[in-house]
Amino acid sequence: MNIPFEIFRTPATMRARASDLRRDGRRIAVVPTMGALHEGHLALLRSARGKADVVILTIFVNPTQFGPAEDLSRYPRDEAGDLAKARTCGIDLAFCPDREAMYPVGAQTFVEVRELQQPLCGASRPGHFTGVTTVVTKLFNATLPHLAVFGEKDYQQLAIIRRMTRDLDFAIEIESVPIVREPDGVALSSRNAYLSPEQRLAARALSAGLAAAEAACKAGERAAARLVAAARAPIEAEPLARIDYVELRDAEELTPVVVVDRPVVLAMAVVIGTTRLIDNRVLR
């Protein structure tokens, strides 16, 4: 039975609809986003469409995951355009609340995954992942999914959400979709829209660094320091790039590694102009 497309603006109305669908035996998938949809987001929606009876897209630019000097006010917003793109992927429902609906006056409860949120982006963006885990918890409570789909570009976020889901006993499967890249290797990101043409060319240094380290690993290099050095070289050679971090970490626990003797993730954050970009690659 087809489900009429609807947009919900409050957690209560969204949860009531999701509850009805669950009672009808429908399998629900949710794809949480902050909007500004690109092909990477659409890949998540297509994956969800193949795994569930009902696909819910959420669009909410979450203020609690932005720092005081970050780009909340200029983050791109185009709800109508986003919904038009999403409907080509067959979404059934959309949850698009405003700030007041998600964080009522007086709200003071937050969710933390203490250890996994400390390194990498957590070190340079204090409080960011507390905002992420809190809003994802609230989105789960509103949409009542059996399945949630996230992208692998935000690798640390994915690891944190997996741990949170397990630790809090959410009966939700967490699925991931590989990074979608432009033909020149640049990972798709909503923040790419901030780049000038010259900066967009400079952004290729991130994927070049990942490729260099992967090639060294495949050639037999196992020392983390040398693999990190291989990844840094193309970025350091790019005048417009400034490295925030390039690190090799255990793929699940995100703990430091000295030798690649297990699956590891090479993760990086690089500032191009004033735009902070992240990328990663799992090395085995």
Question: Tell me: the pLDDT tens digits for 12-39?
Answer: 999 999 999 999 999 999 999 999 999 9
Q: Is the pLDDT of residue 73 over 90?
A: no
Question: Tell me: the pLDDT tens digits for 217-254?
Answer: 999 999 999 999 999 999 999 999 999 999 999 999 99
Same domain, 17 and 150: yes
pLDDT of residue 69: 77
Domain-terminating residue out of 125, 152, 177? 177
Same domain, 164 and 241: no
Mean pLDDT (the chain, rounded): 97
**What is the DSSP code string of 4-24?**
--EEE-SHHHHHHHHHHHHHT
Question: Tell me: the pLDDT tens digits for 146-159?
Answer: 999 999 999 999 99
pLDDT grade, residue 67 (50/70/90)? confident
State the residue range of the domain holding 136. 6-177
Question: Tell me: the pLDDT tens digits for 74-120?
Answer: 899 999 999 999 999 999 999 999 999 999 999 999 999 999 999 99
Asked, for residue 284, whether it belongs to a domain, the answer is no
Same domain, 149 and 121: yes
Angle at 45 between CA 252 and CA 79, to 5 degrees: 115
Same domain, 172 and 224: no
CATH number at residue 173: 3.40.50.620
pLDDT of residue 2: 82
Q: Where are the beta strands (DSSP E) in the chain?
A: 6-8, 28-33, 54-59, 93-95, 147-151, 173-177, 241-250, 264-272, 275-283
Count up the domains in the chain and report the number: 2
Same domain, 35 and 144: yes
Q: Is the pLDDT of residue 1 over 70?
A: no
Asked, for residue 183, whether it belongs to a domain, the answer is no
The model's pTM is 0.96
Same domain, 23 and 132: yes
Asked about 38 being catalytic, the answer comes back as no
Asked, for residue 182, whether it belongs to a domain, the answer is no
Give the residue among 264, 32, 52, 221 at the shortest CA–CA distance from 139.
32
